[in-house]
């Protein structure tokens, strides 16, 4: 029963993530207006806004104008619901679970906004930095995942500084912008949440994943070297892999 409730809770938050992904880039209010069809602008009734079921029942189309609704809406709800299930399975009802669920919500929103708009809003990274640092004062949290406050602040500064340095050197050498400061702030989030030790691993894995995904398009010449690449999603993937393997990584290094 608890697993079902956690899955439902995750799908509801996934639905809210979709609202943020759609509205935040345009600086629209999250709560002022009800959801509406982007084509016909008609408000969506509550029974057409039930996670998963409404999308399947309506066959991915607007009830009023048959506008095709992106599969992303279904995918985001599914990702958040599954992430909630995995977190609950690993950590049960605990402060650790609550924190990781909050992080999964923010990471999902950042992932899809950066993927589409090449931006990472401060409204997402600044609260995550604050939460990541403040939680480090709680000695009862899972110490294998979360660092103490000293490690946390070192991680945040280290994460931001290393990406800022890459941006600075790239601009000096190539005379143009490379990565954005949003990526630096996101790496600072990783440092505040998981400590300095997470930064080298996250940067390495995110870079490898980015290369694996980008190289085929470069070889096929469907993308050139000057094309803009959203790096935020790769940072998130690298961070998630780090968290999954944190015990093994710390054992190997320490």
pLDDT digits (tens, 9 = 90+) for 156-171: 999 999 999 988 888 8
In the structure, what pLDDT confidence band is assigned to residue 1 with cuts at 50, 70 and 90? confident
| % residues pLDDT > 90 (the chain) | 57
51 contacts 77 by C-beta, under 8 angstroms = yes
Instruction: Encode pLDDT of 70-90 as tens digits.
Output: 899 899 999 999 999 999 999
125 contacts 181 by C-beta, under 8 angstroms = no
Which comes out higher in pLDDT, residue 22 or 217? 22
Q: What is the pTM of this model?
A: 0.90
Rounded Cα distance, 29 and 143, in Å: 37
Taking CB atoms within 8 Å and a gap of at least 24, the contacts of 25-33 are 25/113, 25/116, 25/117, 25/119, 25/121
Rounded Cα distance, 81 and 62, in Å: 23
pLDDT of residue 250: 61
Q: How far from the centroid of its chain's Cα atoms is residue 74's Cα?
A: 16
Handedness of CA 42, 45, 47, 53 (dihedral sign): positive
């Amino acid at each position: 029963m608890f697993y079902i409730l956690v899955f439902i809770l995750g799908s509801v938050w996934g639905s809210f993530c979709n609202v943020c992904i759609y509205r935040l880039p345009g600086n629209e209010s999250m709560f002022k207006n009800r959801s509406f069809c982007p084509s016909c602008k008609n408000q969506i009734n509550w029974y057409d806004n039930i996670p998963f079921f409404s999308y399947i029942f309506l066959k991915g189309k607007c009830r009023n104008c048959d506008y095709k609704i992106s599969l992303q809406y279904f995918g985001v709800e599914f990702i958040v619901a599954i992430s909630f299930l995995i977190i609950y399975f690993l950590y049960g009802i605990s402060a650790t679970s609550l924190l990781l669920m909050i992080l999964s919500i923010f990471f999902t929103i950042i992932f899809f906004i950066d993927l589409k708009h090449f931006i990472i809003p401060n409204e997402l990274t600044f609260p995550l930095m604050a939460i990541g640092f403040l939680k480090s004062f709680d000695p009862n949290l899972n110490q294998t995942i979360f660092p103490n406050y000293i490690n946390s602040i070192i991680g945040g500064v280290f994460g931001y500084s290393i990406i800022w340095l890459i941006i600075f050197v790239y601009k000096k050498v190539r005379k143009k912008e490379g990565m954005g400061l949003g990526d630096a702030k996101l790496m600072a989030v990783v440092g505040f949440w998981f400590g300095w030790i997470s930064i080298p691993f996250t940067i390495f894995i995110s870079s490898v994943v980015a290369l694996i995904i980008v190289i085929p398009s470069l070889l096929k010449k469907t993308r050139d070297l000057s094309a803009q690449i959203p790096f935020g999603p790769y940072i998130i993937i690298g961070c998630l892999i780090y968290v999954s393997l944190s015990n093994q990584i710390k054992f190997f290094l320490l």
